[in-house]
Structure 1
Amino acid sequence: MELPLVVGVDGSEPSMRAVDWAVDEAALRGVPLRLVYASLSERYEGAALAEGIDPPSEQVLADNIVEAAARRAHRRDVDLKISTEVLPEEPVPALLGEGRNASALVVGARGRSGIAELLLGSVSLAVAARANCPVIVLRGSHDSQADAGMRRSIVLGVGEDAHSTEAVRFAFQEAEERRVALEAVRAWRCPAHESAEHPLLAGDPAHHHEQRATETLEAALRDVVADHPSVELRRRVVEGTTREALLDASADAGLLVVGARRRQGHFGLQLGRVAHAVLHHSARPVAVVPQRV
Structure 2
Amino acid sequence: MKTPDTRVSGSPRPLRIVVGVDGSEPSLRAVEWAADEAVLRGASLRLVYASLWERYEGAALAEGLGKPSEEVMAEDVVATAERRARRRQPDLGITTDILPEEAEYCLIRESRGALLMVLGCRGRSGVTEALLGSVSVTVAGHAHCPLIVLRGSHDNQVRPGPAGRIVLGVGEKPADSAAVRFAAEEASLRGAGLEAVRAWRRPLHEPRAHPLIVGQPAHLQETEAAELVEEALATVPDGLRVRRRTVEGFARDALLAVSRDADLLVVGARRRQGHCGLQLGRVAHGVLHHAVCPVAVVPEPA
Question: Normalising TM by the smaller chain, what interval?
Answer: 0.7 to 0.9
Which has the greater radius of gyration?
2
Task: Report whether the alignment pairs 1:62 with 2:71.
Answer: no
Cα RMSD (Å) of the superposition?
A: 2.6
Q: Distance in 1 between matches of 2:139 and 2:53?
A: 14
2:146 aligns with 134
Q: Distance in 1 between matches of 2:55 and 2:26?
A: 19
CA pair 179-42 structure 1, distance change in 2 beyond 3 A? farther
1:261 aligns with 270
CA pair 173-150 structure 1, distance change in 2 beyond 3 A? farther
2:47 aligns with 35
Q: Distance in 1 between matches of 2:285 and 2:55?
A: 27
> Is contact 2:30–2:156 with CA below 8 Å preserved after alignment?
no
Deviation at 1:264, TM superposition (A): 4.8
Per-residue displacement from partner, 1:65-105 (whole Å, max 9, x unpaired)?
10100000001111111111111111011111110000011
2:59 aligns with none
2:90 aligns with 78
1:216 aligns with 228
Count, aligned residues:
275
Name the aligned partner's letter for residue 184 of structure 1: A
Query: Which among 97, 106, 118 is matched to residue 106 of structure 1?
Result: 118
CA pair 243-24 structure 1, distance change in 2 beyond 3 A? same
Name the aligned partner's letter for residue 142 of structure 1: S
1:160 aligns with 172
Between stretches 146-155 and 114-123, larger displacement belongs to: 114-123
Query: Which among 269, 272, 279 is matched to residue 281 of structure 2?
Result: 272
> Is contact 1:153–1:175 with CA below 8 Å preserved after alignment?
yes
Q: Which runs of 5+ in 2 are unaligned?
A: 1-11, 57-67
Q: Distance in 2 between matches of 1:232 and 1:131?
A: 30
Name the aligned partner's letter for residue 220 of structure 1: A
- Give SS of 1:214's match: helix
> Is contact 1:20–1:144 with CA below 8 Å preserved after alignment?
no
Q: Distance in 1 between matches of 2:50 and 2:210?
A: 57
CA pair 127-41 structure 1, distance change in 2 beyond 3 A? farther
1:239 aligns with 248
CA pair 196-90 structure 1, distance change in 2 beyond 3 A? same
Deviation at 1:267, TM superposition (A): 2.7
Q: Distance in 2 between matches of 1:42 and 1:148?
A: 40
Deviation at 1:120, TM superposition (A): 5.8
Q: Distance in 2 between matches of 1:196 and 1:162?
A: 33
Q: Distance in 1 between matches of 2:89 and 2:156?
A: 14
CA pair 258-198 structure 1, distance change in 2 beyond 3 A? farther
Deviation at 1:265, TM superposition (A): 3.8
Q: Which runs of 5+ in 1 are unaligned?
A: 45-55
Report the TM-score when normalising by structure 2.
Answer: 0.84
Query: Which among 154, 159, 171 is matched to residue 143 of structure 1?
Result: 154
1:288 aligns with 297
- Give SS of 1:20's match: helix
Per-residue displacement from partner, 1:216-243 (whole Å, max 9, x unpaired)?
1111221x22xx2231010001111101
CA pair 70-85 structure 1, distance change in 2 beyond 3 A? same
Q: Distance in 2 between matches of 1:271 and 1:8?
A: 20
Deviation at 1:162, TM superposition (A): 2.8
CA pair 191-43 structure 1, distance change in 2 beyond 3 A? farther
Deviation at 1:118, TM superposition (A): 8.4
> Is contact 1:190–1:205 with CA below 8 Å preserved after alignment?
yes
